[in-house]
Amino acid sequence: MSNIIEIKNLKKSYKDVKAVKGIDFYVEEGKLFALLGPNGAGKSTTIDMICTALKPDSGSITVDGKEVGKGDNAIRKEIGIVFQDNFLDPILTVGENISIRGSFYGLKGNELKNAVKKVCETVGITDLMKRPYGKLSGGQRRRADIARALVNTPKILFLDEPTTGLDPQSRQNVWQMITKLQKENNMTVFLTTHYMEEVTDADYVIVIDSGEIVAKGTPATLKEKYAKNYLHITPKDKEKIVKTLKYNNIDFTVIADVYTVDIDKTEDALPIIDLVRDNIESFEVIKGTMDDAFIGITGKEIRK
């Protein structure tokens, strides 16, 4: 598996704001990669530098073997970008907007027509091709934005918070389309988001906060490492369970006769269950969510 993006000691400041403070990471080809972080963490700054839209202060970025700053034109031909705010012309139709973008890449005539048709089919907006972009709903616009970013058949698709501002249904639709694109075309997808549930499907996640990497791993490993799990026990005899837990120095809380013990891993519940086995009316292990993991890593709620 080759690394399609490699980043070393990348830094960027805006006057006295250190937006990106020397980060290192790589993205494997064909994967769904997520850069996750709270507002102002440095996600857009990082993506803008990788896409050659913003010059780094120092460090190096390689995209498909080409160095940012030296091979920018070649890099631009291989990537598709959907920024947070897109500037498609609201008066022109969806098809016209995408055609203009395609012509930037040297496509013309039938080749251009076919490319536009194909991307509209891919993202499911064929029926919207003749409609002015300005008349589309939020979810339809996002699809059109993504279609436009795909017109040059990019190797890497960059999506900066692609579902922000969409209703839950449209978010889900856009998300399904993105995962389909990645799986069916072996496209590398580089995504920034602050929606925890969106990184559940990612192959790898880097969490940044205040311009620094604060955690990395697969969604499952991040959850295992940073999200607390809980053991809930409803005992037969309340006094007895208190005695047993205290005697064994196990911290617990009680709400409505349910005794809760924080545990790191699921299997850590087993010795506790063994201790109180005779006294259990019912029990359950509650697994931490990605939201819990995010709060565990950054100490912040992630949603806007």
Ligand X SMILES: Nc1ncnc2c1ncn2[C@@H]1O[C@H](COP(=O)(O)OP(=O)(O)OP(=O)(O)O)[C@@H](O)[C@H]1O
Q: What is the 3-state secondary structure (H, E, C) of 174-185?
A: HHHHHHHHHHHH
Of 82 and 128, CB closest to ligand X: 82
Near ligand X by CB under 6 A, which window of 25-33, 36-44, 62-70, 134-142? 36-44
Of 160 and 292, CB closest to ligand X: 160
Say whether 36 sits in a helix, a strand or coil: strand
Minimum CB distance to ligand X, residue 157 (Å): 18
The pairing of beta strand 66-67 with beta strand 79-82:
unpaired
Residue 193 in contact with ligand X, rule: CB under 6 A: no
Of 152 and 192, CB closest to ligand X: 192
Minimum CB distance to ligand X, residue 201 (Å): 20
Q: Are 104 and 79 in contact (CB under 8 A)?
A: no
Residue 102 in contact with ligand X, rule: CB under 6 A: no
Minimum CB distance to ligand X, residue 164 (Å): 8
Residue 194 in contact with ligand X, rule: CB under 6 A: yes
The residues that bridge with 60 in the sheet, in sequence order, are: 8
Look-up of token digits 């960027």? 12
Cα 40 vs. chain centroid, distance in angstroms?
Answer: 15
If you ran DSSP here, which 8-state letter would residue 267 be given? G
Among 7, 10, 19, 128, the residue binding ligand X under the rule CB under 6 A is: 19
Biggest distance spanned by C-alpha atoms of the chain: 82
**Binding residues with ligand X: total (CB under 6 A):** 12
Residue 301 in contact with ligand X, rule: CB under 6 A: no
Of 39 and 253, CB closest to ligand X: 39
Minimum CB distance to ligand X, residue 63 (Å): 19
Of 41 and 120, CB closest to ligand X: 41
Residue 14 in contact with ligand X, rule: CB under 6 A: yes
As given in the structure block, the two tokens for residue 225 are 């490492």
Task: Please report, to the nearest 10 degrees, the dihedral formed by the alpha carbons of residues 271, 272, 273, 276 taken in order.
Answer: 120
Say whether 135 sits in a helix, a strand or coil: helix
Residue 71, phi then psi, degrees to nearest 5: -110, 40
Residues 39-58, interacting with ligand X (CB under 6 A): 39-45
Binning the chain into helix, strand and coil, the percentages to the nearest 5 are 40, 30, 30
Residue 195 CA to residue 164 CA, distance in Å, equals 9
Near ligand X by CB under 6 A, which window of 33-41, 95-103, 105-113, 229-237? 33-41
Minimum CB distance to ligand X, residue 43 (Å): 3
The pairing of beta strand 280-286 with beta strand 229-235:
antiparallel
Residue 165 in contact with ligand X, rule: CB under 6 A: no
Minimum CB distance to ligand X, residue 231 (Å): 35
Q: Which residues bind ligand X (CB under 6 A)?
A: 14, 17, 19, 37, 39-45, 194
